[in-house]
Homo-oligomer: A and B are copies of this chain.
Amino acid sequence: MSAKIKIEKKILSENDKIADGIRERLHQNNIVSLNFVSSPGSGKTSLLEKTIGYLGKDTKIGMIAGHVQTENDANRLKAAGGKIVRPVVTGGACHLDARMISKALESLDLEKIRMLIIENVGNLVCPSSYDLGEDMKVVLMSVTEGDDKPLKYPAMFRRSSVMIINKIDLLPYCDFNMDIARENALKINGKLRIFELSCRTGDGLNKWYSWLKSPKI
């Protein structure tokens, strides 16, 4: 085994231990947690802006927003009504890891929140390997990215419980086949729960909101 693979395994195993601890703490506090992952520009922040605007009235939501640089997404989430938002800047790393989440949780009063939403860095590869202690991963893709993405980035779709196909308002202008996209995704992970929606027009958001009120895999 090469030194690189050895150290990667060690890092992931340490990460998993921290993640297990996070999950236990969150469960002790009856907090459900979701880790949102996608390519850059798929619309994670837009979806979370809408979500916080709707669900934030009744549910106490804590949010951790990951960035490679800037705190733009965290600022957008605050402006959208997010009251408990913690930005995390990875400083170049292409994913959040459990240690970053653990540190961000230090400043959250877990008794005061019922749901933890993590917005990961925009990347369809590495974030799939890092358990953050969440109950489930939610993977977004937008129709402009093409219906082949689940096949090309299978680990992320295999390890997610929910897939959101965003920007369906752009369907008439893209060569995207919804049936093939669903088929490709379910080929990788037959248990994926799939939502189709548009943050821009609002189409499909109600279904997403009502599922999210009591998210079950």
Contact = CB atoms under 8 A, between A and B. Distances in A.
B122 A144 contact: no
Contacts of A56: none
Nearest to A170: B173
Contacts of A93: 125
Contacts of A3: 7
Nearest to A73: B152
A151 B70 contact: yes
A123 B94 contact: yes
Nearest to A141: B41
B125 A94 contact: yes
Contact of A122 (B11, B39, B151): B39
Contacts of A211: none
A149 interface: yes
Nearest to A76: B148
A28 B87 CA distance: 48
A94 B145 contact: no
A126 interface: yes
A173 B151 CA distance: 27
A153 B68 contact: yes
B152 A122 contact: yes
A115 to B, nearest CB: 25
B40 A149 contact: yes
A72 interface: yes
Contacts of A144: 41, 142, 144, 167, 170
Interface string A148-179: 11011111000000000001011001110000
A94 to B, nearest CB: 4
A123 B146 CA distance: 15
A52 interface: no
A29 B207 CA distance: 59
Interface of A: 3-4, 7, 11, 39-41, 67-70, 72, 92-94, 121-126, 141-142, 144-146, 148-149, 151-155, 167, 169-170, 173-175, 200
Given A40-B124, A72-B148, A173-B173, 6 more contacts: A4-B11, A41-B146, A69-B154, A142-B144, A170-B173, A175-B200
